[in-house]
Structure formats: C-alpha cells, structure tokens
Amino acid sequence: MPDLPSAVLFACNMNSIRSPMAEGILKFLHGGSIYVDSVGVRKTEINGFCVTVMDEIGIDMSQHNSKSFDDLEDSYFDLVVPMSPGAQHKAVEMTRAMACEVEYWNTFDPSIIESEDRDTMLEAYRTVRDQLMERIKARFPMHRVSDT
C-alpha cells in the first residue's frame, strides 16, 4: 500500500456539501484504514441534494452531523484539505503550531446555482461529487503504482 496519511480532515464553509462528500468518499474507498472527519467554518444541516447524489453511488450521508472547527474534539491530523477560501484561512490558523500538511483544493460550491429545475441542481452536485471522487482516488490511491 502507498504511504497514506493516518488522519485527514476535509473543510469547507458550512460542512453541508463539499467536505461531507469528501469525507464520505474517502471513508468509502479506504474504510477504517484512514481516520477521516470534516468540518465547516460554520455548520448547518446536511444539504438534501448532497444526500441524494451520494446515495446514487452507494454512500449514505443522511446521518451526517455537521460541525465547525470549534466542534473538533481532536485536532491531530496529518493532512487538512480546505475546499474554500474561508476554510483555508481557518485550516492555516488551526495548524500554525502543528506538524500538519494543509492542501488547498479549490472546489466549486454547487449551492450557489440558482435554478428552479431539480435536474439542473442535481447535475451541479453530481459534477462536484464526481470531481471529488477522481481527486480523492488520485491523492489517496488504493494500490501502489508500478514504476515499470
């Protein structure tokens, strides 16, 4: 297996879409081999479109409890992945005195789409989900890639 971090924190603005998606995907791909959590600068309930598009790929987000940086019980992480400028600021502030890598992933917030069309909204959320899936698979590979 490749060298993977033992603890990863994903962060975004509200812990209702992007960071929970990333948390769910990484847990789905790596099970219990990596401790994974997610937070927001602020917290709000999980977004319904997020729950729907994650359910489409077999990941249940309906029981996700949103939390903020202030709600973290343990702040030891090998890697913090902020997905918004506000989360980037909080992550740098949190890790200032820690031996922790911060890796900024600028990730589109699908909640800014203003549409009355449910299919348009779902497609925006699917796009973010699929982009996160590909990025997570690349960053946290399942198998060591051969150098041959």
Domain boundary assignment for the chain: 7-139
Q: Which two tokens stand for residue 104?
A: 């900024």
Which DSSP symbol is given to 31? G
With tokens 């990863």, the residue in question is: 8
pLDDT band at 142 (very low <50, low <70, confident <90, very high): confident
The pLDDT tens digits of the residues spanning 39-88 come to: 999 999 999 999 999 999 999 999 999 999 999 987 789 999 999 999 99
Q: Which range among 11-15, 79-83, 103-107, 143-147 shows the weakest confidence by mean pLDDT?
A: 143-147
Tell me the C-alpha distance between 110 and 82, whole Å.
16
Residue 75 corresponds to which amino acid?
Answer: S
Beta-carbon contacts of residue 138 (< 8 Å; ≥ 6 apart): none
- Amino acid 1: pLDDT: 47
- Give pLDDT, residue 145: 47
Q: Hey, what CATH topology would domain 7-139 get?
A: Rossmann fold (3.40.50)
Residues 6+ apart with CB under 8 A from 130: none
pTM, two decimals, is: 0.92
The one-character DSSP state at 33 is: G
- Residue partners of 32: CB distance under 8 A and separation at least 6: none
d(CA 58, CA 116): 26
Q: What's the mean per-residue pLDDT of the chain?
A: 92
pLDDT band at 143 (very low <50, low <70, confident <90, very high): low
Instruction: Say how far apart CA 132 and CA 53 lie, in whole Å.
Output: 12
